[in-house]
Amino acid sequence: MFYLKYRPRTIEELDNSQVREIIFNMLQSKNLPHAFLYIGPKGMGKTSTARIFAKSVNCLNNSYAGKSSSVEPCNRCKNCLGIDASSSADVMELDAASNRGIEEVKKLIRESIFAPMTGRYRVFIIDEAHMITHDAFNALLKTIEEPPATVIFILATTNEEKVPITIQSRCLRVHFGSATAADISRMLKRITSKEKITLPQEIHDLILQYSESSFRDAAKLLEELTIQNKLDLDEAKRYLGIRAKQNLLHLMKKSEAGESLAWIDEYIKNGGNVKYLLEDILERLRKQLLIKNGISQENTEDFGFSTKEITQLLKLFTEAYGSLRISPIPAIPLEIAVIEFYNLKQ
Ligand SMILES: Nc1ncnc2c1ncn2[C@@H]1O[C@H](COP(=O)(O)OP(=O)(O)O)[C@@H](O)[C@H]1O
Ligand SMILES: [Mg+2]
Ligand SMILES: [Zn+2]
């Protein structure tokens, strides 16, 4: 998958120009804050940037090691590789969405007093930081205020209002706003040149138009169009147009079975790929399920399904996805899933 394969691993590869400059200048100055708050929607590079930062300050070959004038991580030394593989003893990632309590945070605080093992800094990355409980935040407060000199905290959040002001005011805030067209264009060029893809300018512009300022979406669209060999403008337009309408779920909520089946038929006729469609639909439904259960506060399209309906749909579409491999006609498993859902509604 392009979006994983081309996850930025150096400062230079961060296509978000604003963030790239902030991080570069900070690392260059060597005047590092004790704590950061990375703020921004999913897929904007918070985790990638946190790892690049941790690698830069701990790399054994760059200017932090006195081995070169560059602050870029080398991505080859044992510290860089350890951080990339999440096996570094000095860099810890805590996902607050699943470990939100006082015990995990206390453990982290206890850990923070130890000197780094193989690097120069211990870096604690706390993802979805807004999910941390009130008590756990309080426990963290003092450590974030005056951590040992070799400790850096990086808190990442999609929801800054839920992070207590007391914590926010002790962190250096970095905004990962939505990507500009120039930023996304830079990413597309980075990928196409490495993949040796010739991307016509009109298709490049079309991807920008349909990717809704998300690096991740743009990388996915590029991959779909390339794999399906739709680098002809008319074909690409039709394909993205149909795909972007994304109204199969809307139709299934609001219209008769016949209309949903007609939509699928048109999608297939226009060269749509059932596998991609199902992946996209499953991802959207899962998001809805997480939002409905208070696990995520992401702001995404709501199709109006109840939790029960979402669960039914997830089951049916997962089953359809599994059947794709053995079905001689890819549309069939999808059509069966759709019809069964209508049958359940009756
Ligand atoms: N600044 C960026 N430049 C290029 N690609 C990016 C950038 N930020 C995110 N991406 C793409 O989005 C994917 C998810 O990024 P990630 O760092 O996990 O974001 P977050 O933690 O904000 O959700 C990456 O694998 C990469 O393909
Ligand atoms: Mg992340
Ligand atoms: Zn290195």
Domain match, 86 and 121 both: yes
DSSP designation for 62:
S
Tokens of residue 261, six digits:
């089946």
CB atoms within 10 A of CB 90: 23
Q: Is 125 left (phi over 0), alpha (psi -120 to 50) or beta?
A: beta
- Distance (angstroms) between ligand 2 centre and the Cα of 329 equals 37
Domain match, 283 and 142 both: no
Q: Is the CB of 2 under 6 A from ligand 1?
A: no
Q: Is the CB of 216 under 6 A from ligand 1?
A: yes
Domain match, 218 and 90 both: no
Q: Report the alpha-carbon distance of residue 197 to residue 250 in Å, rounded.
A: 35
Ligand 1 nearest-atom number relative to CA 2: 27
How far is the first Cα of the chain from the last one, in angstroms, to the nearest whole number? Answer: 39
* Atom 16 of ligand 1: nearest residue by CA position: 45
Answer yes or no: is pLDDT of 245 > 60. Answer: no
Answer yes or no: is pLDDT of 100 > 90. Answer: no
Q: Is the CB of 188 under 6 A from ligand 1?
A: no
Ligand 1 nearest-atom number relative to CA 20: 1
Band the pLDDT of 242: cuts 50, 70, 90: low
* DSSP sequence for 93-112: EEETTT--SHHHHHHHHHHH
Q: What is the CATH number of the domain that holds 229?
A: 1.10.8
- Which one of 152, 175, 198 terminates a domain? 175
Q: Is the CB of 43 under 6 A from ligand 1?
A: yes
Per-residue pLDDT at 47: 94
Task: Say how many domains are in the chain.
Answer: 3
Domain match, 43 and 113 both: yes
Per-residue pLDDT at 25: 96
The ligand whose atoms approach the alpha carbon of 49 most closely is 1
Answer yes or no: is pLDDT of 243 > 70. Answer: no
pLDDT digits (tens, 9 = 90+) for 290-300: 888 887 776 67
Per-residue pLDDT at 306: 93
* DSSP sequence for 115-168: PPSSSS-EEEEEETGGGS-HHHHHHHHHHHHS--TTEEEEEEES-GGGS-HHHH
Q: Which of 216, 220, 283 to mutate to test the pocket of ligand 1 (most atoms within 8 A of CB)?
A: 216
Residue whose tokens read 């993205």? 240
Of residues 109 and 66, the one with the higher pLDDT is 66
Domain match, 69 and 7 both: yes
- Distance (angstroms) between ligand 1 centre and the Cα of 73 equals 17
Share of the chain above pLDDT 70, in %: 97
Domain match, 232 and 270 both: no
Q: What is the CATH number of the domain that holds 87?
A: 3.40.50.300
Domain match, 213 and 143 both: no
CB atoms within 10 A of CB 332: 14
Q: What is the CA radius of gyration of the chain?
A: 23
- Distance (angstroms) between ligand 3 centre and the Cα of 215 equals 26
Q: Is the CB of 121 under 6 A from ligand 1?
A: no
The sign of the CA dihedral 330, 281, 127, 223 is: positive
Domain match, 203 and 230 both: yes
Answer yes or no: is pLDDT of 38 > 70. Answer: yes
- Which distant-in-sequence residues (6+ apart) come within 8 Å of 140 by Cβ? 105, 108, 109, 132, 167
Domain match, 288 and 331 both: yes
Domain match, 118 and 221 both: no
Answer yes or no: is pLDDT of 266 > 80. Answer: yes
Q: Report the alpha-carbon distance of residue 291 to residue 285 in Å, rounded.
A: 10
Q: What is the CATH number of the domain that holds 321?
A: 1.20.272.10
Yes or no: say if 153 and 124 are a contact pair by the CB < 8 Å rule: yes
Give the residue numbers spanning the domain of 286: 246-346
Domain match, 104 and 13 both: yes
Answer yes or no: is pLDDT of 338 > 90. Answer: yes
- Which one of 156, 175, 194 terminates a domain? 175
Domain match, 96 and 161 both: yes
Tokens of residue 275, six digits:
């596998």
The ligand whose atoms approach the alpha carbon of 298 most closely is 1
DSSP H helices in the chain: 2-5, 17-29, 46-58, 78-84, 102-112, 134-145, 165-168, 181-195, 201-210, 215-227, 233-245, 248-254, 257-269, 274-292, 307-323, 331-345
- Which one of 214, 229, 245 terminates a domain? 245
